[in-house]
């Protein structure tokens, strides 16, 4: 199968590559660029572990082919902060919003995108926003607490 040339931006860096059409964006980020912060859980769009931002919007990188990211601006967990932890990451850390950490990059990026759109959410809205991300060990309670704390941190920083 003919490889396809792609050009995109990943965490602010221009990237060009030749990829097999069947390579998912998640595999491209992990295996070609070495950005293994993006996790693969279910690989069919159910668990949310592979969530990244494309042009500012949260998407499942397992449900996107690398070739579809032509011209896109991709943000992964590695690019969220270049200088210590991002306030959303700090909030997860401080409020025990993670245990094993596998779902965390997807959880953090989902929360980050959500809080940009809705800086002062209710708990109900936080729960709905996280409904597409599965966690199998931390428990959702502290994750909701962490997202609420992150909203307060971000509001304080503005």
Partner 1 sequence: MKPPPFDYIRPRGLDEALAILATHGPDARPLAGGQSLIPLLNLRLARPSLLVDLAFIPGLADVQAENGTVVLGAMVRQRTVERDALIAQRVPLLAEATRLVGHPPIRNRGTIGGSLAHADPSAEYPAIALALDAELVVRSASRERVVPARDFFVDLFTTALAPGELLTAVRIPVPPPGAGWAIQEIARRHGDFALAGAAVLLRQAGDGTCEHAAIALFGVATRPLRATAAEHALTGQPLTAESIREAAALAVEAIDEPLSDVHGSAAYRQRMAGAVVRRALEEASRRAGT
Residues that bind partner 1 (CB under 8 A): 1-2, 4, 20-24, 27, 43-45, 48, 51, 54, 57-60, 62-65, 67-68, 70, 110, 113-114, 128-129, 131-132
- 124: number of Cβ within 10 Å: 9
Q: What is the DSSP letter of 21?
A: T
Among 64, 78, 79, which residue's Cα sits nearest to residue 19? 64
Q: How far is the CB of 84 from partner 1 (least distance, A)?
A: 26
If the CB atoms of residues 76 and 110 are measured against partner 1, the closer one turns out to be 110
Distance CA 64, CA 80 (A): 20
The vertex-131 CA angle with 11 and 143, nearest 5°, equals 70
Q: How far is the CB of 88 from partner 1 (least distance, A)?
A: 16
Q: How far is the CB of 23 from partner 1 (least distance, A)?
A: 6
If the CB atoms of residues 46 and 94 are measured against partner 1, the closer one turns out to be 46
Distance CA 80, CA 82 (A): 7
Distance CA 37, CA 49 (A): 10
Q: How far is the CB of 71 from partner 1 (least distance, A)?
A: 9
Distance CA 132, CA 53 (A): 15
Token couple for 138 = 């931390």
If the CB atoms of residues 8 and 62 are measured against partner 1, the closer one turns out to be 62
If the CB atoms of residues 19 and 154 are measured against partner 1, the closer one turns out to be 19
Q: How far is the CB of 94 from partner 1 (least distance, A)?
A: 25
If the CB atoms of residues 55 and 93 are measured against partner 1, the closer one turns out to be 55
């Amino acid at each position: 199968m003919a490889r396809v040339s792609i050009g995109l931006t990943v965490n602010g860096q221009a990237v060009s590559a030749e990829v097999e059409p069947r390579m998912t964006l998640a595999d491209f980020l992990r295996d070609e660029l070495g950005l293994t912060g993006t996790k693969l859980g279910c690989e069919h769009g159910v668990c949310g572990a592979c969530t990244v931002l494309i042009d500012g919007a949260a998407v499942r990188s397992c449900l996107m082919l690398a070739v579809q990211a032509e011209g896109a601006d991709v943000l992964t967990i590695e690019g969220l902060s270049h200088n210590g932890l991002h306030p959303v990451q700090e909030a997860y850390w401080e409020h025990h919003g993670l245990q094993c950490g596998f779902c965390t990059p997807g959880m953090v990026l989902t929360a980050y995108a959500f809080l940009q759109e809705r800086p002062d959410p209710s708990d109900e809205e936080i729960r709905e926003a996280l409904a597409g991300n599965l966690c199998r060990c931390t428990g959702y309670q502290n994750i909701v607490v962490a997202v609420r704390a992150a909203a307060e941190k971000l509001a304080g920083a503005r």
